Structure 1
Amino acid sequence: MTVAIIVLAVLFLLMILGVPIAISLIIASILGFISSIYYIPLEVVPQRLITSVDSFPLLAIPFFMLTGEFMMSGSMGKRIAAFAFAAVGWVRAGLAQVSTLTSMFFAGISGSGAADTAAVGKMMIPMMESKGYDKGFAAATVASAGTIAVVIPPSIPMIVYGVTAGVSIGDLFTAGIIPGILIGLSLMMLNYWLTRKNNYSEEKRTFEFTTFRKTFYEGVLALLLPLIIIFGIRGGIFTPTEAGAVAAAYAFLINKFVYKDMDWKDIPEAFINAGKMSAMVVFIIAGANLFGWLLTAEQIPQQLAQLVMNATENKYLILFIFNIIFFIAGCFLNASAAITILTPLLLPIALGAGIDPVFFGLIMVVNLSIGLITPPVGLDLFIVKGIADVSYDKLIKAVIPFIAVMVFDLFIITYFPAISMFLTTL
């Protein structure tokens, strides 16, 4: 346990100093190897870094990243936004509702909260500001909606958890559908209430079925992509990794040869951007896996499991403890890093308490998605801060109600598992 205290202290010190999370994890792990009472050769470091990412399922990450890049290179993203505007743009808080619904559609394509937040934010935040919305509210709306991308499949954190825990990624994807919709609808209700409370005004509109039908027909090929991914995986047609490749090919073919609005010069840039984002995620996974391996070698999971089980064997209390741990971790760690570190530590406890590993992974991912909008390192917050040019203090104040609603949704998902899990049994 002494080694664990040392490496955790070093890790948080490095993070406070601004050292990138992947490098912080590697440095802390090396110091842990040196200070361990067991002989752990440093040759383990490069071996674990390489073998931890030598995984076929992890190839799904760059493919889904590339899908998102292709989507934004052509008009797929704009067609989805146009359909969302026709569907909910006429109601109270129309633009805020469009932001949330568009993020829900985008979530079914890229699997990246940061990518979705950036894409929707660039479209919707300037539009909301021009209609009189407060900057902080506009930015908070887009940032919170961006968290849905890691819950609704395909989800990159779910892929990471599936690989780490040896759990069916297809089951995880299926389990994330209803929670993602629940969170989206809850945020839309909050948008409605906040706009009434703050008296944000928009031109009154009415639902136009002609426009709705037109935007649906124009965007139906883009809207079909999430369904192709889900039904393809659940139907056994392809694996999640193959689904990523199919999605990327589909997005390219539709934008280039059907919509005909993607230039050949856009393709290298899409590959480069997807490669950069994938490299960042995989580097974090490698560093976190090394860190997790050190903790396992020091038998920290067994000690922690014994400590928790001695305190209580009540499954619901254990779930409550898990949620506190995940929430705190999400405030400081990237979701992929938190999953890679915490899964080997906490999954044995969950299994011992009779908690389904798929359900455990779902709770972890939903909880860590909230970390995208919690200070001090909420990634979505920094993305919308730059787009909206709003102060960090004002943004934090505006996002608090959204965090509260998502925490409420988290407890519904945690203590009513049938809501999420019944789809996996169909």
Structure 2
Amino acid sequence: MNIALVCGLIILIVLAVLLIAGVPIAVALGISSVCAILPIMDTEVAVLTGAQRIFSGISVFSLLAIPFFILAGNIMNKGGIAVRLINLAKVVTGRTPGALAQTNVLANMLFGAISGSGTAAASAMGSIIGPIEKEEGYDPNFSAAANIATAPTGLLIPPSNVMITFSLVSGGTSVAALFMAGYIPGFLWGLACMLVIFIIAKKRGYRSNTNFTAKEKWDIFIQALPCLLLIIIVIGGIIGGIFTATEGSVVAVVYSLILSLFFYKSIKISDLPQILKESAEMTGIIIFLIGVSSIMSWVMAFTNIPALVSSGLLSISNSKIVILLMINLILLIVGTFMDMTPACLIFTPIFLPVCQALGMNTVHFGIMMIFNLCIGTITPPVGTTLFVGVKVGGVKIETVIKQLLIYFAAIFIVLLLVTYIPQISLWLPGLLGYV
């Protein structure tokens, strides 16, 4: 039997058994990867090689961006930025049908992009806007669905930790190119959901009663401007070549700290130890995942598993449309059971060679994969953003799922556009000379 097939089956079977048994995914990845190379390598050598791959996998300078972006996000989550972005979004949406839900969408896109967390966006925006929507007669399930459906947009709109992870596992794809490629797909996701909200809200008669004077609008804009400048400074600095993505993450920490401590005065020095502790815990989980996944990446490369998968998919059909649809469906299913980071680490080495054989640009593939996995964060049974949104909205998951179905349809249409129209992802980075 083909050695690649044997090793692939061992990884799948051992990984599935360990996950069903409740073993943490990082540990399950490491054990299943070491087990896969036992048929071709001594146990002692296999374990030693695994340990070496962990250290070599995390000994990458660009990975420093992840803990700093996490820290910046945690500072901003507690720094009063959410309220100011919501007020700005209210001004933008005005009195359109479902204005408060539309505000939620815009605020999720802004706050998610700044914090780099869909879960944080769903929690912050749902807890602030949800009660206001309820007072104005909105159905809580409608409000929660709008919040949940759009919270992941910030994972596509940069800066995004999962893009940095993809850059690493794909062999050094430009982080700046990925950042630029995420803007249009992220905005399209948000706009599709805003269209759904408009149609439903118009039918139900949801309208905002809030009116702002010209002075109030100006004051709100001035209050929110420092938050928006963070995106401009960090992304602009990376694009302009002033600093790298890693250095940009440090700039984000310093800027958000100054903003929250001295400008908004929404956090105190005494809050910092807890913020640092939470950031360190989250960083440890992600970095360990990256380390153990490097064992699996090495096993796949050593045993030629990606080539086996590639030839298998290409043997089913010669049509690029069919193969990409199959990959999308697989990633959508994977996303419902697995968090984004491990899914990205596991399936990038498998599907990237297939897509490259079809002539697909690596940046385009990265955005397509991340888009798929973002959908997984709002679908059961492991949709963390879904559960946070339900909890914050004070509703039941079974009633929200019914409301989410139309959003899923709209988001899936955008996914197909992103998949089959490369310029949606590549136009902006191409314009700036990254692809």
Same fold, judged at TM 0.5 (above): yes
**1:107-140 Cα deviation digits (max 9, x unpaired):** 3212222222222222223333333333332222
Q: Residue 105 in 1 paired to residue 110 in 2?
A: yes
**Following the alignment from structure 2 to structure 1, what is the Cα–Cα distance between the partners of residues 120 and 211?**
32
- Do 2:37 and 2:299's aligned partners in 1 also have CA atoms closer than 8 Å? yes
Q: Residue 27 in 1 paired to residue 6 in 2?
A: no
Q: Which residue of 1 aligns with 2:417?
A: 412
Provide closer, same or farther for how the CA distance between residues 132 and 285 of structure 1 changes in structure 2, counting only shifts above 3 A: farther
Residue 177 of structure 2 is aligned with which of 166, 171, 179?
171
Q: Kindly state the Cα deviation for residue 369 of structure 1 after the two structures are TM-superposed.
A: 0.8
What is the identity, as a one-letter code, of the residue corresponding to 1:194?
A: I
Q: Kindly state the Cα deviation for residue 37 of structure 1 after the two structures are TM-superposed.
A: 3.9
Q: Kindly state the Cα deviation for residue 280 of structure 1 after the two structures are TM-superposed.
A: 2.2
Q: Kindly state the Cα deviation for residue 70 of structure 1 after the two structures are TM-superposed.
A: 1.6
Provide closer, same or farther for how the CA distance between residues 87 and 309 of structure 1 changes in structure 2, counting only shifts above 3 A: same
Q: Residue 6 in 1 paired to residue 6 in 2?
A: no
- Do 1:313 and 1:353's aligned partners in 2 also have CA atoms closer than 8 Å? no
**Following the alignment from structure 1 to structure 2, what is the Cα–Cα distance between the partners of residues 209 and 402?**
34
**Following the alignment from structure 2 to structure 1, what is the Cα–Cα distance between the partners of residues 51 and 205?**
55
Q: Which residue of 1 aligns with 2:377?
A: 372
- Do 1:315 and 1:354's aligned partners in 2 also have CA atoms closer than 8 Å? no
- Do 1:151 and 1:177's aligned partners in 2 also have CA atoms closer than 8 Å? yes
What is the identity, as a one-letter code, of the residue corresponding to 2:11?
A: V
Q: Kindly state the Cα deviation for residue 21 of structure 1 after the two structures are TM-superposed.
A: 2.1
Q: Residue 400 in 1 paired to residue 405 in 2?
A: yes
**1:10-68 Cα deviation digits (max 9, x unpaired):** 3233333443322332232243344x344452122322222222221111111111111
**Deviates further, 352-361 or 312-321:** 312-321
- Do 1:157 and 1:335's aligned partners in 2 also have CA atoms closer than 8 Å? yes
Which consecutive unaligned segments of at least 5 residues does structure 1 have?
Answer: none
Q: Which residue of 2 aligns with 1:91?
A: 96
**Deviates further, 132-141 or 144-153:** 132-141
Q: Kindly state the Cα deviation for residue 307 of structure 1 after the two structures are TM-superposed.
A: 1.9
Q: How is 1:137-176 mapped onto 2 (pairs within 5 angstroms)?
A: 137-165=142-170, 166-176=172-182
**Following the alignment from structure 1 to structure 2, what is the Cα–Cα distance between the partners of residues 133 and 225?**
33
SS of structure 2 residue aligned to 1:52: helix
- Do 2:85 and 2:224's aligned partners in 1 also have CA atoms closer than 8 Å? yes
Residue 15 of structure 1 is aligned with which of 1, 15, 19?
19
Residue 137 of structure 2 is aligned with which of 128, 132, 135?
132
Residue 294 of structure 2 is aligned with which of 289, 296, 300?
289
Q: Kindly state the Cα deviation for residue 330 of structure 1 after the two structures are TM-superposed.
A: 1.0
**Following the alignment from structure 1 to structure 2, what is the Cα–Cα distance between the partners of residues 116 and 54?**
31
Q: Residue 356 in 1 paired to residue 361 in 2?
A: yes
What is the identity, as a one-letter code, of the residue corresponding to 1:32?
A: A
**Deviates further, 25-34 or 136-145:** 25-34
**Following the alignment from structure 1 to structure 2, what is the Cα–Cα distance between the partners of residues 127 and 295?**
51
Q: Which residue of 2 aligns with 1:238?
A: 243
**1:357-406 Cα deviation digits (max 9, x unpaired):** 11111111111111111121111112122222322222322222222111
Q: Please, what TM-score do these two structures have when normalized by structure 2?
A: 0.91
> How many percent identity over aligned positions?
34
What is the identity, as a one-letter code, of the residue corresponding to 1:252?
A: L
- Do 2:71 and 2:253's aligned partners in 1 also have CA atoms closer than 8 Å? yes
**1:150-206 Cα deviation digits (max 9, x unpaired):** 100111111100111110000000011111111111111111222234x26455344
**Following the alignment from structure 1 to structure 2, what is the Cα–Cα distance between the partners of residues 294 and 43?**
13
| Aligned residue-pair number | 424
* Runs of 4+, deviation exceeding 4 Å: none
Residue 340 of structure 1 is aligned with which of 345, 348, 367?
345
